[in-house]
């Protein structure tokens, strides 16, 4: 389930030597987690009823995991702010790149499968970004690196479960 991360999604290869660089690394992750949260909410609406109740519940889990990860990373960004000018809310709002509008119609099976596959790909991309940043900051901020490792473990579980549910749903569809 490994995909290449486009180069523009990765942060600079240099290790952070100050808290500003570390905050920037974490803000990059925060941006991707906010997008994953938005995409998860969008997909969750698609599975709001019918035969795909298991996928619907799992998308709820993806959204909740992304939200918890956002809170953890935002708290760490705020803790690294030397003047305490940032709040969790402003850290998250500053990282928001897009807001996806939720669809109003219930998706057909092929659209649902495509949406699930898109979310799995997005989770894999976010995990690779988090892993790359975690490796780069390990020496400068072991606490943040450990938090990112735990977030990655949760996201990996979410991706595997979602992939398995998608395969099972495909076998059970008419």
SS3 content of the chain, % helix, strand, coil (to 5): 75, 0, 25
User: What is the rounded distance in angstroms from the CA atom of residue 167 to the CA atom of residue 118?
Assistant: 14
With respect to residue 2, please indicate whether it lies within any of the assigned structural domains: no
Contact in structure between 111 and 46 (CB atoms under 8 Å): yes
Q: Is the pTM of this model over 0.85?
A: no
Distance, CA of 86 to CA of 2 (rounded, Å): 35
Detail the DSSP E strand segments found in 44-171. none
Compute the distance between CA of residue 64 and CA of residue 56 in angstroms, rounded to an integer: 12
Question: Is 5 within the bounds of a domain?
Answer: no
What are the tens digits of pLDDT across the range 85-106? 655 566 555 554 433 333 333 3
CATH classification of the domain holding 64: 1.20.1260.10
* 111-157 per-position pLDDT tens digit: 555 677 788 888 888 899 889 888 888 887 888 888 889 889 988 98
| Contacts of residue 105, Cβ cutoff 8 Å, sequence gap at least 6 | none
Q: Model confidence over 59-90: pLDDT tens digits?
A: 777 878 887 888 888 777 777 765 656 555 66
The pLDDT assigned to 69 comes to 84
Total domains in the fold of the chain: 1
Q: In this structure, is residue 7 part of a structural domain?
A: no
Enclosing domain of residue 128: 18-172
Establish if 9 belongs to a structural domain: no
Specify whether the CB–CB gap between 30 and 95 falls below 8 A: yes
pLDDT number for residue 97: 44
Q: Residue 95 domain-assigned?
A: yes
Tokens, residue 172: 């059970």
26 closest CA partner among 87, 61, 70, 65: 70
């Amino acid at each position: 389930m490994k995909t290449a991360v486009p180069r523009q999604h990765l942060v600079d290869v240099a290790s952070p030597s100050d808290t500003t660089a570390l905050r920037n690394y974490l803000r990059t992750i925060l941006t991707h987690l906010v997008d994953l949260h938005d995409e998860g909410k969008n997909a969750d609406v698609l599975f709001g009823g019918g035969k795909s109740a298991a996928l619907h519940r799992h998308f709820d889990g993806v959204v909740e995991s992304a939200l918890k990860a956002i809170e953890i990373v935002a708290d760490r960004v705020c803790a690294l702010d030397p003047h305490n000018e940032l709040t969790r809310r402003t850290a998250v709002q500053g990282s928001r790149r897009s807001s996806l509008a939720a669809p109003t119609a219930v998706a057909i099976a092929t659209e649902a499968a495509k949406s699930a596959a898109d979310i799995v790909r997005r989770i894999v991309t976010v995990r690779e970004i988090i892993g790359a940043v975690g490796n780069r900051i390990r020496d400068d901020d072991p606490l943040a690196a450990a938090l990112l490792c735990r977030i990655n473990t949760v996201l990996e579980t979410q991706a595997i479960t979602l992939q398995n549910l998608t395969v099972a749903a495909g076998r059970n569809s008419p």
